[in-house]
Amino acid sequence: MEIDNFHVNVGKAKSELRPEKDLIHVRAIINCPKCGYKKTFKNRFRRKDMELMKTSLLVFDWLTCDKCGELLNLELEFKI
C-alpha cells in the first residue's frame, strides 16, 4: 500500500508538483456590522499567481449584506 502511494508522483515533472512552501493560504471572513451576518471563505494561491488573489480581494471589497444592504467588513488571515 505504501509503495503504491510512493510511486504516484515519480513520473511527474518537478514543475507539476506543488510544494507546500509555494502556496499562500488565505482565509477571508466577511461580516455585517449591522445585522451580524458572517461567512468564511478559504483559498490557496501560488506565489506566482498573486494577480488572482488581488482580483478576488477587489470583488470582496464591494460586497453588501443581502439582509440589510450594509457594506460588509472584510478580514483576511494569511498563512505564508
Tell me the pLDDT of the chain (80 aa) as tens digits: 444 444 455 555 555 555 677 899 999 999 999 999 999 999 898 988 888 888 878 887 788 999 999 999 999 999 98
pLDDT at 6: 46
> Could you tell me the sign of the dihedral formed by the alpha carbons of 55, 27, 75, 69, in that order?
positive
pLDDT at 1: 43
pLDDT at 2: 45
Instruction: Name the nearest CA neighbour of 48 among 28, 77, 22.
Output: 22
pTM: 0.63
pLDDT at 51: 85
